[in-house]
Structure 1
Amino acid sequence: MEFLLPLFGRFHPLFVHLPIGILFFAVLLIFISGKEKNSFKGVIPIAFLVGTCFALLSGISGFLQYRYEGYSWETVQIHLILGWSTIAISAWLYFQFRKQPEIDNRLRVQSAGLLLLLMATGHFGGNITHGDDYLIEVLPPGLKASLGLEFEESKPLQLPEDNWEELAFYEGAIQPILNHNCTSCHNPRNRKGELDLTTAKGLLSGGENGEVLVHGNLTNSALFARLVLPKEDEDHMPPKEKRQPKKEEIELIKTWIEGGASMEKTLGEAKVPSSLVSAFFEREEIPFYPETTLGKVSEDSISKIRERGFFIENISLASPLFRVSCLNFPDFQDQDWSYLDRISSHITYLDLSETKASSKILESLQTLENLTILKLNSLPLSGENLELLINNQNLKIIYLNSSNISIENLRLLDGHPSLEKVYAFKTPASSQEKVKLSFELETGDFMLPKLATDTIVY
């Protein structure tokens, strides 16, 4: 029958919600109770009595869970003291109300105090289950700072792309993974399962069920074995409601343990392949389109542009920049630019292909400060004034297919500060000898290699 006390302790999460709801209901009745007609004097003592009984069950089961589940006293002491204080005060309020059933301001203040005590008890109980940062974990950094919260942010693993081999495998890779995914519950203050994963010493010491790391043995290393259990398994770690490690992080832990779980070896000495760590390299993400502080264009202005036949849409919901096309406006001519001139700063993608525009349109296009992609396919471009596009400091891609552009014309764009690629299929440039330019030139005429199946006759 030795299992009965541990079993009763595990009922704590079930019991604990009942007194919270019932006692909250009792306090609510005190505050909304009026005189005579709206009086709840007959219900309030019953609510306090039932709430106190379930609070007592919660207190007993919580104490048993502490004794049998391996929680340290430092972890549960505040929650346990507040819990038993809640039991005592709710019982005291029950007897006070039975002795003097009149609802006055003194009783309301006492009830409000019980409510605050309930909230504090629940908060510290939640910290034990989910970690100290459970409520604030999802808050943005700015809001945390404004609230004066000084919780140290655990950052995901990042490795330098150069000389990563020189980093210690454990300190440089494994410990950051544990810090980011495990130490909210397994730390010196909240040693769930008597396990501290914030240091190598704590990791090697293990927890209430013994060691969690067996050098070179994945099966017997709970540190790894629990990570790969199904999320629905009660032994899966981290708990399914918490952030889960990435598959690349689990693979790194696996490689480290299989290699002997050395605390001294570097990533290079452990012969970790670059393919295993490349996902963690620090890379500066440069947005493709310009970042701008431009304001939004009114819907009325956009509607008027669409009425002329232009296709226009934002490149994203958060950006004020536009993608503009004349796909449904083949009669576009140079003078029609006046309709777009009012939003010229907002245009980042422009397609004037197969319209009636001429080389003169380049004089207008050079003013587009945020232009990134420009399509001028099948236009009668002579190429002499192509250098005007040097003024488009954010221009990255130009399409000049089926035009009269030659290599000599394209030399005018050589040295463009941002241009990455030019497409010039079916142009004089596609039949001329290739030259070295500051941007990549695609001129077509690609030939796919023949496959054996190409010669089979069916």
Structure 2
Amino acid sequence: MYSILLQDSSWATFIGRFHPAIVHFPIGFLLIAALLELGRRWGKIAVSENVVVFILLWSAISATFACGAGYLLSLSGGYDVNLLDNHMWKGIGVAVFAWAAWLVKSDKLQKALPAGKLIYLPAILVATALTLSAGHDGGSLTHGEGYLTQYTPEPFRSLAGLPPLKAEPTEIKPIADVQQAVVYTDIVQPILQTKCTQCHSSSKSKGDLRMDQLALLAKGGENGPAFIAGKSAESDMIKRCLLPENDDEHMPPKGKPQLTTDQIALLSWWIDQGAPADKKVSQLTVPEAIKPALASLTKGAPAGSDKISEPGVLSLKVPKADDRVIEDLRKTGLIVNTLSQDQNLLEISAVNLPGFNDKQMELLKPVAQQVTWLKLGGTSITDAAFEQIAKFPNLSKLHVEHTATSDKGIAMLKPLPYLGYINVVDTKVGDAGLKAVAGMKALRSIYVWQSAVTDSAVSQVGKQFPDLLVMNGFNEATAAEFVKAGDKSDPEEVKNK
């Protein structure tokens, strides 16, 4: 057991992740002990020395446990080595001086070291100072170097000798002429800067991966190269986006700003084109399905933003949903977002409700007209739910991945006039289901990885409907076939696959 904990393992990571929680105990105990001691010495408060001794004991114990958990967490890697060393030794110093203060205060060293009480006050003050300094390093390790001082306002910024505040990019700026845009510099790099480099840059490189420079991105991290040129479906940076958001391996992590569907489509297209460093859009093959994502870059909204991009849906104008109905839906745990204020269209997601079932679909009846994006992936729905889904006339995107969906349910979607994207990854949908929806007028992409759909059916549908993207996962032969056919492996909507 001890050998397992002294090396990177699931047990070590499990225990190590308690470090951020445990570390708050010595911080609190030491600060309380220091304040009580100062207050007692100044005559401001009357407190028993036994109380201070008790608090110091628990500060020393909790600091020791925090050191142990911190060491186990460090085994997982991905931290700046020098910063990690500083943080570690400061943490050990906190524990050592906390124990020293307790030993002296409790008279444990009185006989062995008569002059021991002279080191009591310096010990508690040093322990407190190290706690604050180690906390600063811990914030930098977790959130990037300079995390605590990053947004220091003026005039304190100048007084501290800090450089001028540099605004972090939060969105992709519109491109005047997308055809002349350098794909990596003007499209790929801005996407990575807004969604990835917070955890993968020079100040913080989780998994030893840096995504702030193309050479370092190509080099990869502890899990190997981040991408394989020409094969987006086999590239780790794309595959992680295909995982459920609750999966520990999903990137960006749950709770962080997620890459939009168009953004992942553009990244995948760049990789499929060989991940060039200096090629312009006009110099690369642009499949029909990727053109809407590129076109959105010239507008005021960044690619893949919450602006509706489907041509048919753009013309829709539906009545505003009742605010009380939306509030009731949110109370059940559903996520309800307005995608377009002027059109009143809604996105409804059950990402946090794995138990959401067929009966609960009745809750969505009052907003049937307004729902255009519906995310039911990973829920408990079956084919019975599609009787209700088929009554959403303006549905344009549907996620039912990782559910019990089969051919019977998926076939009910045929009458929907605006449905352009379907995700049936890891379902029971087979060849019959694929063929049933392939001819839908608005359908641009369907994701069937790990379903019952066969490669032969994908090939047949591809020939019959050349403008339809059928993404069948990480099969090398399929990927090669798409590339050979002119790179029709448009990764539109890959994000929630």
CA gap of 1:186–1:37, structure 2 versus 1, over 3 A, is closer
Displacement of 1:174: 0.9
Q: 2:28 aligns with which of 21, 32, 46?
A: 21
CA gap of 1:137–1:224, structure 2 versus 1, over 3 A, is farther
Aligned residue number for residue 114 of structure 1: 127
CA gap of 1:227–1:75, structure 2 versus 1, over 3 A, is farther
The answer as to 2:141 corresponding to 1:128 is yes
Amino acid across the alignment from 2:89 = I
* Greater Cα shift, 105-114 or 235-244: 105-114
CA gap of 1:143–1:173, structure 2 versus 1, over 3 A, is farther
Q: Which runs of 5+ in 1 are unaligned?
A: 285-458
CA gap of 1:208–1:141, structure 2 versus 1, over 3 A, is farther
Conserved? CA contact 1:31–1:108, under 8 Å: no
Report the Cα distance in structure 1 between the residues aligned to 2:38 and 2:29, rounded to whole angstroms: 15
Report the Cα distance in structure 1 between the residues aligned to 2:150 and 2:220, rounded to whole angstroms: 26
Displacement of 1:38: 1.9
Q: 1:206 aligns with which of 220, 223, 231?
A: 220
Aligned residue number for residue 397 of structure 1: none
Aligned residue number for residue 260 of structure 2: 246
Displacement of 1:236: 2.2
Aligned residue number for residue 89 of structure 1: 97
Conserved? CA contact 1:213–1:220, under 8 Å: yes
What is the SS of the residue equivalent to 2:281?
coil
Report the Cα distance in structure 1 between the residues aligned to 2:126 and 2:164, rounded to whole angstroms: 27
Displacement of 1:203: 0.6
Report the Cα distance in structure 1 between the residues aligned to 2:191 and 2:154, rounded to whole angstroms: 21
CA gap of 1:242–1:37, structure 2 versus 1, over 3 A, is closer
Conserved? CA contact 1:30–1:40, under 8 Å: no
Amino acid across the alignment from 1:186 = H
Displacement of 1:82: 1.8
Aligned residue number for residue 71 of structure 1: 79
Report the Cα distance in structure 2 between the residues aligned to 1:82 and 1:132, rounded to whole angstroms: 17
Aligned residue number for residue 264 of structure 1: 278
Report the Cα distance in structure 2 between the residues aligned to 1:235 and 1:267, rounded to whole angstroms: 31
Amino acid across the alignment from 1:78 = N
Displacement of 1:208: 0.9
Conserved? CA contact 1:75–1:191, under 8 Å: no
CA gap of 1:249–1:140, structure 2 versus 1, over 3 A, is farther
The answer as to 2:30 corresponding to 1:41 is no
Report the Cα distance in structure 2 between the residues aligned to 1:141 and 1:167, rounded to whole angstroms: 37
Report the Cα distance in structure 2 between the residues aligned to 1:72 and 1:238, rounded to whole angstroms: 20
Aligned residue number for residue 301 of structure 1: none
Conserved? CA contact 1:29–1:40, under 8 Å: no
Report the Cα distance in structure 2 between the residues aligned to 1:88 and 1:60, rounded to whole angstroms: 13
Displacement of 1:110: 5.7
Aligned residue number for residue 248 of structure 2: 234
Residues 46-445 of structure 1 correspond to what in structure 2 (within 5 A)?
Answer: 46-99=54-107, 111-132=124-145, 134-135=147-148, 148-150=162-164, 152-155=166-169, 156-162=171-177, 164-272=178-286, 274-281=291-298
What is the SS of the residue equivalent to 2:234?
coil
Report the Cα distance in structure 1 between the residues aligned to 2:271 and 2:142, rounded to whole angstroms: 28
CA gap of 1:214–1:75, structure 2 versus 1, over 3 A, is farther
Displacement of 1:199: 0.9
Report the Cα distance in structure 2 between the residues aligned to 1:28 and 1:169, rounded to whole angstroms: 58
Report the Cα distance in structure 1 between the residues aligned to 2:284 and 2:174, rounded to whole angstroms: 16
Aligned residue number for residue 451 of structure 1: none
**Identity of matched residues, %:** 27
The answer as to 2:51 corresponding to 1:31 is no
Conserved? CA contact 1:216–1:261, under 8 Å: yes
Conserved? CA contact 2:93–2:127, under 8 Å: no
Conserved? CA contact 1:165–1:266, under 8 Å: yes
Report the Cα distance in structure 2 between the residues aligned to 1:37 and 1:80, rounded to whole angstroms: 35
CA gap of 1:123–1:218, structure 2 versus 1, over 3 A, is same
Residues 144-175 of structure 1 show CA distances to partners (whole Å, capped at 9, x for unaligned) of 7797454543323224323x222221122112
For the pair shown, which has the larger CA radius of gyration, 1 or 2? Answer: 1
Report the Cα distance in structure 1 between the residues aligned to 2:261 and 2:252, rounded to whole angstroms: 13
CA gap of 1:139–1:207, structure 2 versus 1, over 3 A, is same
Greater relative contact order, per chain length (Cα 8 Å cut-off, separation 6+): 2
CA gap of 1:113–1:59, structure 2 versus 1, over 3 A, is same
Q: TM-score scaled to structure 2, two decimals? A: 0.49
Aligned pair count reads 282
CA gap of 1:150–1:173, structure 2 versus 1, over 3 A, is same
Amino acid across the alignment from 1:193 = G
Report the Cα distance in structure 2 between the residues aligned to 1:141 and 1:94, rounded to whole angstroms: 41
Conserved? CA contact 1:12–1:62, under 8 Å: yes
